[in-house]
Structure 1
Amino acid sequence: MGKIILENIKLFGFHGCMPEESYVGSYYTVNVEVELDLYKASVNDDLSKTINYVHLYRIVKEEMATNSKLLEHLAQRIIQRIRKKYSKVDLIKYTKIKICKENPPLQSNVDRVCVLLEDKDLINKN
């Protein structure tokens, strides 16, 4: 077993419940963690036996371009897209997404607000 981890993807987006967030926007940091069996890829040096992290990045970037009121919803969409893309090859055992809004619009000095969603949270609720 192994993991592919994309750390600190920095993107700009328009997510939030306050009206001004939909036109002012904010910076976000996204972390993606996917657990899978990496044995065949490590032995065969074959990209088809693993998940291409370029595709994971592309999914995150595309979903960040679609506005959401809640980071929870955005994280759920990213997990669903990853699961759908790789459902036929059945490689993924586990997925975790962490999305942080940098400098959230709060009445205090807070660096970031983060949401962490794991696909087991979604599976157990279905």
Structure 2
Amino acid sequence: MSQFSIFAGLVFSVIIAVFALANSQPVLINYLFGKAEVSAIIVILCSAVCGAFVIFLFNLVRQVKASFQLRSLRNDLRIMEERVQELEKERDFFQVQAGQFQQAFSEASDAVEFSGQNRSRNIEPKENTKVEERKDHT
């Protein structure tokens, strides 16, 4: 409980006690099954206690609902954390695969470049030789 709630409860209790002491004359209470004459102090204090009990019951119901909701949310959180771990493992796996594919692609493009350079060195331009042959024939 917060300090404000405790303070408000104490102030309210003092007000009820002063009100009850100021009204100490006997009153007639009519029950469904009979009548009784009781001091007003007792009627006021019993009414305050019954009101406090009803408030307690409402708060108890609210706390039980909150407890069930908290349990459900904790379960959802656990499930989500497990899913996050699964997705992180999957991401790591795909990152490793992407790295392997990138390395293989890099090696393949290097091999293609290297073989292309070898071909250009071995191939002699045919136009130049034809030009020289034409000069010889003319």
Structure 1 length-normalised TM = 0.24
- Higher percent of residues as helix: 2
TM-score, length basis structure 2 = 0.23
Give the greater-gyration-radius structure (CA): 2
The structure in which a higher percent of residues are strand is 1
Q: Which gives a bigger RCO, structure 1 or 2 (Cα 8 Å, sep 6+)? A: 1
